Amino acid sequence: MVNYDKRAYRYVTRKRKKSILLGIIFMVAILVGSLGTILLQSFDATIGQIGQQSQAKIILSITDAEQLILDEHISNLADAENISFLNRINETTSFLQGFEIGVGYNENLEDAKVRLQGFDDLARGSLFAREVTVLTEGTLDVGENGVILHEMLAQSNEVNVGDTIVFQNENNNEITAKIQGLYTYADPLMENERHALSMFRFENLIFAHPVLVNQIQNEGGYIEAHFYVTDPRIIQEVRQTFEEIIRESSLETRISDVLFQRLSTPLLQTANLVTMIIIITGVVTAIVISLLLILWSLERKKEVALLLSMGESKLAIFMQRFLEVVIIYLVSFFIVVILSMFIYPTITEMVQVEGLEWQKISINEPGFSVQDTIRIFMIGIITLIITVSISCISVLRLKPKKVFSSID
C-alpha cells in the first residue's frame, strides 16, 4: 500500500483547482495577519514616540498655602516606575538692591518687589513652554544661581547678560545671582493693569532655578512638582501609586495628558480596527476552510471506505488529509514571504501627527521578525489541526459496508 504522505502529495498535485482555491484563501489570511501585525507594531511604536514628546505628567500640588511640597515628599515619588523627569516649581517675592522697578497705582516705592518663579527646566511647564514668553538673549539653562530678566527691566537698570544682581529677602539676607538671559512677551501689546502691584507687573517677573528661589524665601519647599512619565498609557496606574504614598499628607495629584490623548486616540482607534479585521479574517478563514474540507470529505467517502476496508488506520487517513492541507499551506506561506519583500517596504511613508510641530512622528519602517513569522505560522498550523479534525469526524465514523451499499 502507498504511504499516506505520498497519497497526500499525489492528491494535491492532481486536484489542482482545489489546491489553488485553498492556497488563495491561505495567502489572503496570512497576508492580512502579517500586514496587520506590522501595522500594530508600527502604531505601538508611534504612540510611544507621541508619549515621549507630549510631555504627559502627574502634577503634585498643595491644597494648603501653609504647607509646601518638601524634598522628602518628592524623593518618595521620583523613584516610581515610569517617571522620566522631575520639574520642581516654586515662587516667591523679593527686593532687588539698587534697581528701579515699576510700581502700581499709589504703591509705595519702598515696598516694590519683583516676583520670582523657579523651574528645574524652564523649557517645560513655564511660560516659555507655552510660548507666552520668548527668550531674546542668553539661555534657558540658568543653573542654580542664574536668572532671566525681562528686557524692559534690564534696559531700565542698564544691566545685561553676564551681570550680577542682588536679591534681599524678608530677613534682610542678600543673595547674589547672575543674569543668564533676557526675555520678552510674545504679545507685544501686553499691558499692566492700572492697579497691579509691582510684583504682578509683567516686566517684574524673573525666572530662576528652584534652589535660588528657596535661598531667597529662606525655606525649602515647592508649590508644585511635575512628574513627567515615560509611557502615558499607564499614567493612571502611576497616579494611584502616588496617591498611596501621599495619602497621609494634604497634597493632591492631577493628570495632564490632554495632548497625548488628542494625538494618540486616532491611532488607538485605527489599531483597534486593524485588530478587529485580523480577528474577523481569522474566524472567517477558519469557517470557510472547515466548510470546504467538509464538502470535499463528503465527496471522498468512497475513498475513505476503500482505505478502511483495506486495513488502513483512521489515524493514517487523518494524517493524509492533514498533510494535504499542510502542503498547500506551506507553499502559500512561502509565497507570502516572497511577496512581503515587495509589499512591506511600501508602508514607509512618514505620518505627520498634527499638534506635534516640533518633531515629525513617523510609522517605523516595517520589519517582520523571526518571532512574528513563527507565531503566525503556528497559529495557522493550530487552525489547520482544528479544521481538518472537524472535517474528518463525520467521514471517519462511516462504515465501509454502508458506504458501498449506498453507491448506485
Distance in angstroms (rounded) separating the CA atoms of residues 382 and 384: 5
Q: Give CA–CA dist 288/282, Å, rounded.
A: 10
Distance CA 168, CA 172 (A): 6
Q: What is the reported pLDDT for 365?
A: 44
d(CA 55, CA 52): 6
Q: In 3-state terms, what secondary structure has residue 257? A: coil
> Tens-digit pLDDT profile for the chain (408 aa)?
457 778 888 888 888 888 899 999 999 998 888 888 878 887 888 888 888 788 899 999 888 777 888 888 888 787 777 888 899 999 999 999 888 888 776 677 767 889 999 999 999 889 998 889 999 999 999 998 999 999 999 999 999 999 999 998 777 888 999 999 999 999 887 778 777 888 888 889 999 999 999 999 887 889 999 999 988 888 898 888 888 888 878 889 999 888 888 888 888 888 899 899 999 998 998 899 888 888 887 777 777 777 777 777 778 888 888 898 999 999 999 888 887 777 665 554 434 444 444 344 444 444 556 777 888 888 888 988 888 888 887 666 666 655 555 554
The SS3 of residue 329 is helix
Q: Using alpha carbons only, give the angle 381, 387, 389 rounded to the nearest 5 degrees.
A: 100
Domain-wise residue ranges, the chain:
4-52+262-405, 56-256
Q: For residue 178, what is the enclosing H or E element?
A: strand 174-185
- ∠ CA(58), CA(62), CA(64), 5° rounding? 160
Residue owning grid cell 483512521: 314
Task: Give the Cα separation of 90 and 119 in Å (integer).
Answer: 7
Q: CA torsion sign, 229 to 230 to 231 to 237?
A: negative
Cα–Cα distance between 227 and 231 in angstroms, integer? 12
Q: What is the pTM of this model?
A: 0.71
Task: Judge contact between 294 and 390, C-beta under 8 A.
Answer: yes
